[in-house]
Amino acid sequence: MTKLTLASYPHMLGFEQLERLLERAAKSGNDGYPPFNIEQTSDHSYRITLAVAGFAEGDLSITVEDRQLVIRGRQNDDSDARVFLHRGIAARQFQRTFVLADGVEVGEAIMENGLLHVDLTQARPETVVQTIKIKKG
């Protein structure tokens, strides 16, 4: 089976970076934890909500690295000082990665009832019309 790439389409010029972003998103290694929602809150804004019950604000970090939104969680595991008869809630670290398109900006992050909300906005692109003069050669 031949791998189809954007380079296979000669009329698609300058999309190599998009192809690299798609490959990076496919390899991001997200394992399904924690679960999350993505909702569109207006024509140009979005909200990512992660279920982070048991995590405090200090256990979480949010960064933007090379057009990727990276949300990490790491709980302090104090299980050595405690005796569990049953342990169904694990102190588990995670990393969730979301690839951001050009023009998408990360707004505020809000922690509410065990949910972490991260708001995103997308700038409206300007319509540019450019006329190219043809010179005689």
Give start and end residues of each alpha helix (H) in the chain.
16-26
CB 119 within 8 A of CB 45: yes
What is the pLDDT confidence band of residue 130, given thresholds at 50, 70 and 90? very high
Residue 129 in any domain: the answer is no
Residue 28 gets which letter from DSSP? S
Q: Indicate which CATH number applies to the domain containing 67.
A: 2.60.40.790
| Other beta carbons less than 10 A from residue 27's beta carbon | 8
Total of domains in the chain: 1
pLDDT number for residue 76: 77
What CA dihedral angle connects 51, 54, 58 and 63, to 10 degrees?
A: -20
pLDDT per residue as tens digits for the range 44-88: 999 999 999 889 999 999 999 988 999 999 987 666 788 889 988
What residues make up the domain containing 59? 30-122
